[in-house]
Structure 1
Amino acid sequence: MKKILFVASEAVPFIKTGGLADVVGSLPKYFDKEEYDIRVMVPKYLCIKQEWRDQMKYVTHFYMNLAWRSQYVGILELEYDGVKFYFIDNEYYFAGPKPYGNIYEDIEKFAFFSKAAISALPSLDFRPDIIHCHDWQTGLVPVFLKDSFQNNPFFQGIKTVMTIHNLKFQGIWDMKTVKDITGLDASYFTPDKLEAYGDANYLKGGIVYADAVTTVSDTYAEEIKMPYYGEHLDGLMRARANSLRGIVNGIDYKEYDPETDKYIVRNYNAVNFRKEKIKNKTALQQELGLNVDPKKMMIGIVSRLTDQKGFDLIAYVMDELCQDEVQIVALGTGEERYENMFRHFAWKYQGKVSANIFYSEAMSHKVYASCDAFLMPSQFEPCGLSQLMSLRYGTVPIVRETGGLKDTVEPYNEYESKGTGFSFTNYNAHEMLHTIRYAEHIYYDKKREWNKIIDRAMAKDFSWNSSAKRYEELYNWLAG
């Protein structure tokens, strides 16, 4: 029986700001329980809902040295969906209305969390073979483990995996402060260890000291070895290339299931979508005040409205796109200029464009189920989950070929009748527009071909089962 501990700053259903929480909360359920004992450790934030906090059971507490301070560490536990979750408690660090705040506070908060996660193990009666760390917030776990804990026989031989969910966020702060916070020896702050461009970098420390490094798609694993995507760490990624692998994320197929989804007007499946899916479209058209027309091609967007997600491309050709026979439904919040851009076009093209500048789980399900196509022209995309949801709902993705988008959406080929979506290569607005118009042409002029694309899309399996298999291979390789 292999024992694995996930250490992360967030996990569904307790606390979530992004896709990281979905991975950490969902993936552990999909491992073979006979062979793997997988547990999860996260901070006990005060902003976790009371209903969860009421279910947590106190395990123990102790005091731990963090450099020159002595800090309280409480441990609570809760079993959810057959997985044991541990919560590290310290109100000084984990108070506040959201899990992350100012970076200078977060730097100390996650140094504390990383050390506390390791320090808690002897009192848990659980010695993991592998500690699986997620993103910069846990980057110091492999570093601390190699440092102050190595003299203790309990910790010797524990392996670490560092998973990069988005290389853009690295946990960078000035070296003097980080030395003071962590109490790590000066020898750790050299260019081959935690130092990067004059500062200390948590994620870099994790990548240097972990036994294996993963990221969330094969293509992204290749891309981050290049300067364009490497966020100043491409040299390190090349140096660690033999320990680096990409494993694509999955989605929870029980939660995202058009056949049972409680948020949508009409349930459907891969057999009856031709008749039933369209009823979701007309219902959404009515709800959002769009012109009700079941034949009109509807393009959905569910996203953070940021540059990373390609909204500068959309903004550039939005007026041209609105001349076409399409409707556009956007859902999400983000940079003000993109929020206002969608509001402007919703005003200018009433009945054609719907701008929903908020986030709602229910509305996102309606968009996935109702639209004909889903637009995701990301500048970079480590994995991406929206395109996986679109495929699941038979909503044809139109994506840029980058990261996980390239790995999960097979471009349509009309000569071989293959593919599950449409894609373009260069980060260029008119190349995107051309691809959207090609999709319109297939939708309006070759309806049977369009339906076959949906058939293939809905037959794909991007559930967590296939990801779990690849992580199992990694754990077996590491733990021998």
Structure 2
Amino acid sequence: MKKILFVASEGVPFIKTGGLADVVGSLPKCIDKEYFDVRVMIPKYSCITEEMKQKMTFKTYFHMDFNWKNEYVGIMEAKEDGVTYYFIDNESMFSGFKPYSDNVLEEVTKFSFFSKAALSALALIDFRPDVIHCHDWQTGLVPVYLRERFQGSEFFRGIKSIMTIHNLKFQGKWDVKTVKSITGLPDYFFTPDKLEAYKDANLLKGGIVYADAITTVSDTYAEEIKTPFYGEGMDGLLRAREKDLRGIVNGIDYDDFNPETDKYIEHNYNAVNFRKEKIKNKRALQAELGLEQDDKKMLIGIVSRLTDQKGFDLINYMMEEMCQDAVQIVILGTGEEQYENMFRHFDWKYNNKVSANIFYSEALSHKFYSACDAFLMPSLFEPCGLSQLMALRYGTVPIVRETGGLKDTVEPYNEYESQGTGFSFSNYNAHEMLTAIRYAEHIYYDKKREWNKIIDRGMAADFSWHVSAKKYQEMYDWLIG
């Protein structure tokens, strides 16, 4: 039995702020239990719900030297869906109403503590992983500490590490002197070929330098991050390590996202009966959001963080034009004020066509996936993206920019060969985006049978975790040897 430990800053169902939590919560369930014992370690945030805290039992505790102090480290344990979770407990580190704060120094301190505590806890919980699978900058110091402090002891010798980059934009940077003091790492580690980058200490860089393997969440993104435009200053290092870098596209949980059983939607449907049943969800959503009740109007959905990364400057540029078309546009999400206000403005101006829902609701997001005809994601960069996978699953046709995971998961429609699962455009350009949207409108209105065949192919595609899990298993086998 090969043992794998996921170390991450969040994981469903305990704590979630984004797609990372979905990966950490869903992937371990899908890895073959016959050959792999996969467990997960995350911080015990005080903002975890009471209901979830009730599932935890106290395992043990110890004290650890960290940042010139002797810090308490508690270990809690819970079982969920057949997976064992461990929680690192320290009130002063993990208090607050949210898992993350805007104070970078606080974040760097807390996740340096978490990385060291995660390794220190292993001997006490009597679990010696063959591979420690680290996720994003918050766990970047795990491979570093593993090499620097723990490799000397018999227990840790030969443990391999993987660094998965979910979004290269976030790296955990602070000045070298402070990070050296917090982490207790010697000078040797703070050179340009190790943790130092552009005069700062960089936790993600440490993880990339010291991990035995590096993955990211789609094939295209793995290629893109080796270029200056997408590389966020790390492209040189990633080119140097390209033999150890691979892309494995994320999946979604096909039990949670299933139009046939989804408890959030008014009318359940499947790939066989969507032609009759899906429209009922559209009517229900139009009614709920106060839009004009019209079966035939093409309904375009957006569920997203409203940030530059997601391509909202393109939408901002073209929104007035789009509102001239025979479409309805529904938006769900929060983010940068300029985009929140832009959508509020168009909701006010075109009230029967545009509905801006500037908040987040899990239930409403499911209703969007089940009710909309098309789903718009014009991202500037998108390591993987999960929304387009959910859209495909619900028979909602994605319109995307060809970047990262969007390029890998949405096959552009080809009317001559009757192939494809969505519509796409390649350059980051507002006019190209509008052309793709209008091409989709043309197929929707003038070639309904073709449109339904696009839905057939999208709903038949398999982006469940089981496909990705096999690729992770291959990588674990290759590393363990």
* TM-score computed with the length of structure 2 as normaliser: 0.99
1:367 counterpart SS class: helix
Q: Distance in 2 between matches of 1:69 and 1:155?
A: 24
Q: Which residue of 2 aligns with 1:74?
A: 74
Q: Superposed, which structure 2 residues align to 1:122-201 within 5 Å?
A: 122-201=123-202
1:67–1:184 Cα contact (<8 Å) kept: no
| Equivalence for 1:326 | 327
Q: Tell me the SS of whatever aligns to 2:406.
A: helix
Structure 1: gaps of 5 or more residues? none
Report the AA paired with residue 83 of structure 1: V
What is residue 47 of structure 1 aligned with on the other side? 47
Equivalent position of 2:220 in the other structure:
219
Correspondence for 2:409: 408
Question: What secondary structure sits across from 2:149 in the alignment?
Answer: coil
Paired letter, 1:153:
E
* Residue 353 (structure 1) aligns with: 354
Q: Which whole-Å CA distance do the structure 2 matches of 1:12 and 1:188 have between them? A: 34
* Cα distance in 2 for residues equivalent to 1:266 and 1:289: 19
Deviations 1:275-311 (A, max 9, x none): 1100110111111111100011000000000000000
Q: Give a deviation string over 1:51-109, Cα, whole Å, max 9, x none.
A: 11122111111111125321111111000110000000111101111111111111110
Correspondence for 2:211: 210
Distance in 1 between residues matched to 2:87 and 2:211, nearest whole Å = 23
Q: Could you list the per-position Cα deviations for residues 233-267 of structure 1 after superposition, in whole angstroms to 9, with x for gaps in the alignment? A: 00001001000000000000001000111111111
- Residue in structure 2 matched with residue 233 of structure 1 by the alignment: 234
Cα deviation, 1:11-68, whole Å, max 9, x if unaligned, reads 0011111100000011100011110000000001111111111221111111111253
Tell me the alpha carbon deviations over residues 361-401 of structure 1, each in whole angstroms, 9 at most, x when there is no partner: 01000000000000000000000000000000000000000
For residues 459-474 of structure 1, what are the structure 2 equivalents within 5 Å? 459-474=460-475
Q: Matches of 1:290 and 1:433 in 2, distance apart?
A: 22
**Other-structure match for 2:257:** 256
Distance 1:104 1:185 in 2: 19
- Distance in 1 of aligned mates of 2:227 and 2:288: 45
Counterparts in 2 of 1:60-99, with a 5 A limit?
A: 60-99=60-99
Q: Contact 1:330/1:355 (CA < 8 Å) preserved in 2?
A: yes
Distance 1:321 1:67 in 2: 54
Amino acid at match of 2:123: P
Match of 1:37 in 2: 37
Once the two structures are superposed, residues 424-445 of structure 1 have per-residue CA deviations (whole angstroms, 9 ceiling, x without a partner) of: 0000000000000000000000
Q: Please give the alpha-carbon distance, in whole angstroms, between the structure 1 residues aligned to 2:149 and 2:280.
A: 61
Equivalent position amino acid for 1:273 in 2:
F
Name the CA distance, whole Å, in 2 between partners of 1:161 and 1:69: 29
CA distance in 2, matches of 1:148, 1:267: 54
Question: After superposition, what is the alpha-carbon deviation per residue over 1:294-341, rounded to whole angstroms, capped at 9, x for unaligned?
Answer: 011000000000000000000001001100000000110101111111
Residues 14 and 48 in structure 1, CA contact (< 8 A), matched pair in contact too: yes
Provide the C-alpha distance between the structure 1 equivalents of 2:462 and 2:82, rounded to a whole number of angstroms: 23
Corresponding residue for 2:456? 455
Which aligned pairs between 1:2-41 and structure 2 lie closer than 5 A?
2-41=2-41
One-letter code of the match for 2:2?
A: K
2:298 pairs with 1:297: yes
Hey, what does 1:117 align to over in structure 2?
Answer: 118
Letter aligned with residue 165 of structure 1: H
Query: Contact 1:11–1:25 at 8 Å: present in 2 too?
Result: yes
Q: Deviations over 1:204-237 (max 9, x none)?
A: 0000000000000000000000000000000001
CA distance in 1: counterparts of 2:68 and 2:153, whole angstroms? 21
Q: Secondary structure at the match of 2:400?
A: strand
Offset of residue 151 of structure 1: 1.6
Instruction: Report the AA paired with residue 299 of structure 1.
Output: I
Paired residues of 1:44 and 1:88 also in contact (CA < 8 A):
yes
| Residue type at the aligned position of 1:326 | V
- In the alignment, what sits opposite 1:306? 307
Aligned length: 480
Contact 1:374–1:387 (CA under 8 A) maintained in structure 2: yes
Mean Cα deviation higher: 135-144 or 47-56:
47-56
Once residues 284 and 374 of structure 2 are traced to their aligned partners in structure 1, the CA distance between those partners, rounded to angstroms, is 17
Distance 1:265 1:80 in 2: 28
How does 1:302-451 map onto structure 2 within 5 Å? 302-451=303-452
Gaps of 5+ in 2: none
What's the secondary structure of 2:150's corresponding residue? Answer: coil
Bigger mean CA offset, 378-387 vs 66-75 = 66-75
- On the 8 A contact 1:411/1:419 being kept in 2, the answer is yes
Structure 2 counterpart SS, 1:147: helix
For the aligned residue pairs, the C-alpha RMSD in angstroms reads 0.6
Separation in structure 1 between the aligned mates of residue 343 and residue 87 of structure 2, nearest angstrom: 40
Greater mean deviation of Cα atoms: 425-434 or 67-76: 67-76
1:124-163: CA deviation from partner (whole Å, max 9, x where unpaired): 1110000000000000000000001122111000000000
> Which residue identity does 2:331 align to in structure 1?
A
> For residues 62 and 318 of structure 1, what CA distance do their matches in structure 2 show?
57
Q: SS where residue 262 of structure 1 aligns? A: coil
Whether the 8 Å CA contact 1:369–1:395 is kept in 2: the answer is: yes
Is the 8 Å Cα contact of residues 217 and 383 (structure 1) preserved in structure 2?
yes
Contact 1:332 1:357 in 2 (8 A): yes
Alignment-mate amino acid for residue 74 of structure 1: G
Q: For residues 416 and 338 of structure 1, what CA distance do their matches in structure 2 show?
A: 38
